[in-house]
Amino acid sequence: MNTNPINLTVRFLLEIAMLTALGCWGWHLSGISRYIAATGLPIAAATLWGVFRIPNDPKPAPVAVPGILRLLLELGLFGFASWALYDLGYSTLSLIMGAVVIIHYVVSYDRTWVMLRNKPYSGFIK
């Protein structure tokens, strides 16, 4: 189910929403930190997301990490983005994002299971 085009689209949109939420939250800080956080948080999140991956997910990882660490990184970034939305006053949007993230990981059970077992992703569960 992980490679279903609809699921991949949802995953991409969640990633974009995460980066946007982090940038918006950073923008609502005061002083010079506003500019640093509004650009730095999304850049840092995108860098972490792209660099620390499990092997062959879907291509070779720049820095290979254990599956559980990758899962925690993803959930941590999505959790931070949901909290950022809540902190900005968008509590309903925060709950919706959190629910969509959870549903996405349930629907992507094959990838989630592979990460928990710490095995390279091969497209199906063995």
CA-wise closest residue to 80 among 25, 43, 2: 25
The reply to whether omega before 60 is within 30° of 0 (cis) is no
How would residue 2 be classed by pLDDT, with cut points 50, 70 and 90? low
- Residue 124 pLDDT greater than 50, yes or no: no
Beta carbons of 53 and 61 less than 8 angstroms apart: yes
- Residue 119 pLDDT greater than 80, yes or no: no
Q: What are phi and psi of 103, to 5 degrees?
A: -60, -40
Q: What is the pLDDT of residues 67-110, one digit of tens each?
A: 889 999 999 999 999 999 999 999 999 999 999 999 999 998 88
Fill in the DSSP letter of residue 108: T
**pTM of the full structure:** 0.87
- Residue 120 pLDDT greater than 60, yes or no: no
Distance, in Å, from the CA atom of 101 to the CA atom of 84, rounded to the nearest integer, reads 15
- Residue 1 pLDDT greater than 70, yes or no: no
Say what percent of the chain tops pLDDT 90: 65
> What pLDDT, on a 0 to 100 scale, did the predictor assign at position 113?
84
Average pLDDT over residues 30-52: 95
Q: What are phi and psi of 4, to 5 degrees?
A: -65, 130
Higher pLDDT among residues 85 and 116, named by residue = 85
